Amino acid sequence: MTTFIHSQNLMRRIKPGTSLITLLAGLLLLTACASTPPPTKEISEAERSMVDAEQARVAQHALPELQEARSKLAEARIAIQNEEMDRAKRLALEASADIKLASAKAELAKAEAVNTDMQKNIHVLKEEMQRTSGEQQ
């Protein structure tokens, strides 16, 4: 009986013209915002990628990108503590993208170093061949 009386009092307080649908939509929106789960999957993937990048010594070739990823990962953890789950997810995904960029730059730098080394070896071999062919004549 008390609940019914409170419900009637609440309905009297609602301004005329305010629809029940509007109130329900507001409650649904509040519930949806409050129930966003923490992005544990995204954080875990970014952390795992960071460990892999550190083991591959990516920082030797792409330190700024890796530092940016570390910073975003730390911000994502803080966002979770502040219950800003959407922001935390976005930052974790950005950190993962930065790690991928850093890894790609590191791979490119390594490939360029191998290419340069091979070019030097080819040059030395050509000189050796010319010298050897000159000695035989």
For residue 10, is it within any domain? no
Which own/partner pairs from 28-31 qualify as long-range (CB within 8 Å, at least 24 positions apart)?
none
Residue 34 pLDDT: 55
For residue 129, is it within any domain? no
pLDDT tens, position by position, 26-39? 656 655 555 689 99
CA–CA dist 75, 81 (Å, integer) = 10
Domain hosting residue 76, numbered range: 39-109
Taking the mean position of all CA atoms in its chain, how far away is CA 133? 58
> Which two tokens mark 122?
């080819």
b or e along 78-88 (b: 16 or more beta carbons within 10 Å of the residue's beta carbon)? Answer: ebbeeebbebb
Residue 39 pLDDT: 95
For residue 98, is it within any domain? yes
Where would I find the beta strands (DSSP E) of 4-136? none
For residue 13, is it within any domain? no
Inter-helix orientation angle 59-81/40-55, to 10°: 160
For residue 57, is it within any domain? yes
Rounded to two decimals, what is the model's pTM?
0.66
pLDDT tens, position by position, 65-104? 999 999 999 999 999 999 999 999 999 999 999 999 999 9
Residue 43: count other Cβ atoms within 10 Å of its Cβ: 21
Number of domains in the chain: 1
For residue 5, is it within any domain? no
